[in-house]
Amino acid sequence: MSHSLMHNPRQNRILAALPVKEYARLVDDLDLVAFRPGEVLYESGDHLAFVYFPTTCIVSMTFSTQDGSSTELAMTGNDGLVGIPLVLGGETTMHTVTVQNGGSAYRLRAEVMRWELDQGGSLQRLSLSYAQALMTQMAQSVVCNRHHAVDQRLCRWLLLSFDLLPGNQLDVTQELIARMLGVRREAVTEAAGKLQAAGLIHYHRGHIKLTDRAGLEARACECYGVVKSEYDRLFSLVPADLTKYRARPNPATLRKRAEARLRQAQPSVPTTPWDTERMLHELQVHQIELELHNEELRQAYDEADSLRKQYADIYDFAPVGYFTLDALGVILDVNLAGAILLGIKRSQHGRHRFVTFVKPECLPAFQRFFDEVLDAKCKKKCEVVLMASSQRPEAIVRIEAVADETGRECRMVVSDITAERMVEKVLQERDPSWRTRLEDLRRA
């Protein structure tokens, strides 16, 4: 995607604060869209297919009553994003989202936004900070509408709007302002007339020009300062991104990214007939597409390898024994705790059947248990006694097992519960009714 100097995603406060790598991963999925005043982005109850990052437009979130009257809850411009329910885990909006002041925004597909949020990076933290700031704006609007005069509320609304625009002119009608403030148009006309008479604004046919910002701020209630301070505070608290960069392969934008990289490389191409030049261009783009594919595959491999090492550590150093047996009961794999429990070396696992370590009187019960797990392909439990080894005495173990998808392998978690059973035996000898009382307490 090419962006002119007039339109750049970095004009949005959230996108501008993203680290370089996170922004680079996102930028090819951002689509520039233009909006007209009054255009509805979402109706109440609509499914969120996109989120929007405004740059030169202002969007209002409004709530309408059954009698048709409406009030603005909050406004969003280049300071944030439209689609906060998605950030908070929802899929639909309960409010109407309307373009207040026409302009541009960058659109991002909802599934891409969800993936980015799941990475826990800067976009997630910035979006959550903006959600909190938006809640502050909503809460302050409730206070302002209840306790302050119309001209003060108009000053607050105008200042918030001008903060979201690059210039000092707002294209909006008094009728729209009245709907946003939830008051009669005549009240807005009177309040705007006072501000114009004081030299703070100049209003003419749907255009409001700011002429004295300091005077307008002095005329406004404290609500404007509260909202602005909270926005600045929350965005200043966003910590540095410490998350590991992850690739998000996107075949839909592969050629677009390849074309962009080719333009950056600016290869030296001699003047040739059109068909030869076009063929050379296609070959160069295809080469870069392959390079991008290779980069994404390498990043995916590195991530998978890192996860494999993490799971290997969890498996190897778990405090319980992990076993994988084939249909004959031969130990195919075992972790360190399991090898210690049986008194064997991990490298010797393929030489032993698990039943050779089970005490003879427990063999029938274990064999039935083993056959049931493989036949039923469901999770089952049992307790058996393992014979004494050179490293330990007899051990009572609890086995939890499940078969694989084919029913040819049995995966077992084996826990040594000898100490637990010894304690129960001592308690039983001292007080035969202890187990009954314990069950009564559990039921109570």
When comparing pLDDT for 178 and 5, which is higher?
A: 178
Would you report the helix, strand and coil content of the chain in percent, each value rounded to 5? 50, 20, 30
Pick from 100, 52, 98, 97: nearest CA to 78: 52
Read out DSSP for 292-331? Answer: HHHHHHHHHHHHHHHHHHHHHHHHHT-SSEEEEEETT-BE
* Backbone dihedral angles phi then psi of residue 363, each to the nearest 5 degrees: -60, -45
pLDDT at residue 235 in the model: 79
What is the rounded CA–CA span in Å between residue 355 and residue 4? 73
What is the rounded CA–CA span in Å between residue 335 and residue 338? 5
For the residues 59-70, what does the mean pLDDT come to? Answer: 83
pLDDT at residue 2 in the model: 38
When comparing pLDDT for 337 and 426, which is higher?
A: 337
For the residues 111-124, what does the mean pLDDT come to? Answer: 89
Hey, do 9-148+222-236 and 166-220 end up sharing a CATH topology, with the first three levels equal?
A: no
Q: Order of strands, edge to edge, in the sheet holding 207-210?
A: 169-171, 207-210, 201-204
pLDDT at residue 106 in the model: 97
- pLDDT tier for residue 42 given thresholds of 50, 70 and 90: very high
What is the rounded CA–CA span in Å between residue 266 and residue 382? 69
What is the rounded CA–CA span in Å between residue 303 and residue 305? 5
* pLDDT at 424 exceeding the cut of 80: yes
Instruction: Provide the H-helix boundaries in 34-181.
Output: 84-87, 110-118, 122-147, 150-163, 174-181
pLDDT at residue 304 in the model: 77
- pLDDT tier for residue 4 given thresholds of 50, 70 and 90: very low
Give the tokens for residue 302: 């590195």
For the residues 227-246, what does the mean pLDDT come to? Answer: 71
pLDDT at residue 5 in the model: 45
For the residues 355-362, what does the mean pLDDT come to? Answer: 94
Task: Please write the tens of the pLDDT for every residue from 174-212.
Answer: 888 888 888 898 998 899 999 999 999 998 888 899 999
* pLDDT at 290 exceeding the cut of 80: no
* Backbone dihedral angles phi then psi of residue 273, each to the nearest 5 degrees: -55, 155
The strand ranges marked E within 155-281 are: 169-171, 201-204, 207-210
Reported for 233-237, long-range contacts at CB under 8 A and 24+ positions apart, including other chains, are 234/129, 234/130, 234/132, 234/133, 235/13, 235/17, 235/126, 235/129, 235/130, 235/133, 237/129
For the residues 346-352, what does the mean pLDDT come to? Answer: 80
For the residues 315-324, what does the mean pLDDT come to? Answer: 91
For the residues 83-89, what does the mean pLDDT come to? Answer: 92
What is the CATH architecture assignment of 9-148+222-236? Sandwich (2.60)
What is the rounded CA–CA span in Å between residue 170 and residue 185? 18
* pLDDT at 272 exceeding the cut of 60: no
Please state, as a whole number, how many other Cβ atoms lie within 10 Å of the Cβ of residue 84: 22
Domain boundaries, the chain: 9-148+222-236, 166-220, 251-315, 321-443
3-state SS of 346-373?
HHHHHHCEHHHHECHHHHHHHHHHHHHH
What is the CATH architecture assignment of 321-443? 2-Layer Sandwich (3.30)
For residue 82, which amino acid is it?
V
* pLDDT at 122 exceeding the cut of 60: yes
pLDDT at residue 378 in the model: 84
- The H or E element that residue 397 is part of is strand 395-403
Mean pLDDT, rounded, of the chain: 85
pLDDT at residue 81 in the model: 96
Fold of 166-220: Arc Repressor Mutant, subunit A (1.10.10)
* pLDDT at 3 exceeding the cut of 80: no
